[in-house]
């Protein structure tokens, strides 16, 4: 068993950011927080229970939990190291114009959201040297990027909707049409379109485009592959199309994204994307 180190903490007037290790076999009973929280998984994995649903929190995932949302955690998949952001009430109000992501349970799997969270987490690697303005700035960017992405609401959708989502995740780099996708899950295209919009907060096409962007964002950090090769592998028509969409979503070019978030030692370890 790994000896639990002292938590690393950075506190500002707006947020409290804590990194901690949860040992295998432990858990947190049902509880809630007085303010919204954001959890980023650096290593390991764990299960969370809320609203009658079990969530699997894996490396690079980012979970938003609103204030007062009861949940419980089980660390039965090995040791798990994560970073939790507690957002003070006044800062929550200041962030509200960016979107409602702090008001609803949301879970993101790496990609653009995970890239920003990883940069925030690195501020805790040397907590005594952390710049409060930088910490708060990364939290603002994290909320802004997550608000644009939109993850599914906990408990949303039926079996056919989960099947459609699984197909999109497995084949995101391939041409996927709404009618063909609906046929594969045995529902009418209109049913799929409306159900997907309600569950995931965006049309099927927008979800597919964002999934491609998330995969490409991971590859930008994990490899030295040329941007054009990443664009093609992600399913974009060409590099210029990819760059236009990437800048529209993030406000930065792929090269700028790669340069700002890559660790000082070079590429980071690649993540299995699903």
Query: Quick one: which of 269, 272, 255 has its CA closest to 222?
Result: 269
Domains and CATH numbers, the chain: 8-149 (2.60.120.10), 159-261 (1.10.10.60)
- Strands 15-22 and 8-11 come out as antiparallel
Distance from the Cα of residue 74 to its chain's centroid: 20
Cβ neighbours of residue 80 closer than 8 Å, sequence gap 6 or more: 21, 22, 41, 43, 44, 45, 46, 57
Per-residue pLDDT of the chain (274 residues; tens, 9 = 90+): 345 556 788 899 999 999 989 998 899 999 999 999 999 999 888 889 988 788 888 888 899 999 999 999 999 888 899 999 999 999 999 998 888 889 988 888 777 888 889 889 888 887 677 788 889 999 999 998 888 775 555 445 568 888 898 898 889 899 888 999 999 999 898 888 988 887 776 788 888 888 898 889 888 888 889 999 999 999 998 999 999 988 888 778 999 888 876 555 454 444 433 3
Q: Are strands 8-11 and 53-57 parallel, antiparallel or unpaired?
A: unpaired
Report residue 237 as tokens: 């028509």
Task: Give dist(CA 179, CA 164) in Å, integer.
Answer: 12
- pTM for the model stands at 0.65
Phi, psi of 232, rounded to the nearest 5 degrees: -65, -45
Whole-angstrom distance, CA of residue 125 vs CA of residue 134: 14
């Amino acid at each position: 068993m790994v000896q639990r180190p002292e938590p690393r903490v950075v506190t500002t007037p707006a947020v409290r950011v804590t990194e901690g290790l949860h040992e295998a076999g432990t858990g947190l009973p049902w509880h809630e927080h007085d303010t919204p929280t954001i959890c980023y998984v650096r290593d390991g994995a764990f299960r969370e229970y809320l609203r009658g649903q079990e969530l699997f929190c894996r490396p690079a995932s980012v979970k938003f939990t609103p204030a007062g949302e009861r949940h419980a955690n089980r660390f039965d998949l090995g040791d798990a190291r994560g970073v939790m952001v507690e957002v003070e009430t006044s800062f929550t109000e200041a962030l509200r114009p960016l979107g409602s992501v702090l008001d609803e349970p949301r879970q993101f799997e790496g990609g653009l959201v995970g890239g920003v969270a990883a940069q925030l987490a690195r501020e805790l690697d040397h907590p005594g040297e952390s710049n409060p303005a930088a910490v708060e700035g990364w939290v603002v960017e994290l909320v802004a990027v997550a608000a644009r992405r939109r993850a599914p609401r906990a408990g949303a959708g039926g079996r056919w909707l989960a099947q459609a989502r699984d197909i999109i995740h497995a084949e995101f780099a391939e041409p996927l049409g709404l009618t063909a996708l609906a046929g594969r899950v045995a529902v009418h295209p209109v049913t799929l379109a409306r159900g997907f919009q309600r569950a995931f907060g965006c049309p099927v096409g927008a979800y597919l485009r964002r999934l491609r962007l998330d995969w490409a964002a991971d590859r930008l950090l994990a490899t030295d592959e040329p941007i054009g090769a990443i664009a093609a592998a992600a399913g974009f028509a060409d590099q210029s199309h990819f760059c236009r969409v990437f800048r529209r979503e993030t406000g930065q070019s792929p090269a700028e994204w790669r340069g700002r978030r890559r660790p000082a030692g070079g590429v980071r370890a690649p993540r299995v994307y699903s």
